[in-house]
Amino acid sequence: MQQQIQFTYHLFHNIQDLKESDAFLLKCARDNTHLAYAPYSQFRVSAAALLSNGKIVFGTNQENASYPVSICAERSLLASAAALFPEAHVQTMAITYHAMQHNSNKPISPCGMCRQAIIEHQKRYGQTMRLILSGETGDIYVIDDATALLPLAFTSTKM
């Protein structure tokens, strides 16, 4: 028997089409791509998140010559948020990038490890997380529930 998994997302063609709070969060993420440390990939990723307490937290990718030691922007953001504001959950996370060797005009999507970390964050707080995925320009995807990106996620309740 063949099964199919699908998900829905909202497509916006530019930042001006987003609601004001989403546009602000995405602009914050875009403004911080220069803080990424990406000497090896030349691919600077930045994330900004609105927490349930109204605070905004940031994360950027931090590379290392020993690649497994590197950390993605999404996971650096989640770690910072949990350490700084352990009682608050991420409501919305905007993720963007600046590719130094080619155009940055397509939406970025979290890697598999980050998708798993995001799902664990949702499980920890019992709240869904919205994602805003973008490049420096071009289309923007808004996903209402991050679990859509990893429908067969590994969790403590699945065997």
**pLDDT tens digits, one per residue of 83-108:** 999 999 999 999 999 999 999 999 99
Q: Which domain holds residue 89?
A: 10-33+42-149
CATH number at residue 51: 3.40.140.10
Question: Whole-angstrom Cα distance, residue 7 to residue 52?
Answer: 25
Q: Please state whether 124 falls in left (phi above 0), alpha (psi between -120 and 50) or beta.
A: alpha
Question: Residue 1: inside a domain, yes or no?
Answer: no
**pLDDT tens digits, one per residue of 35-87:** 999 999 999 999 999 999 999 999 999 999 999 999 999 999 999 999 999 99
Q: What is the pTM of this model?
A: 0.95
The one catalytic residue in 20, 74, 87, 136 is 74
Question: Residue 72: inside a domain, yes or no?
Answer: yes
Question: Whole-angstrom Cα distance, residue 32 to residue 37?
Answer: 11
* 79 CA to centre of own chain: 13
Verify whether residue 20 is a known catalytic residue.
Answer: no
Question: Residue 77: inside a domain, yes or no?
Answer: yes
Q: What's the structural domain count of the chain? A: 1
H helix runs in the chain, sequence order: 20-31, 73-84, 112-125
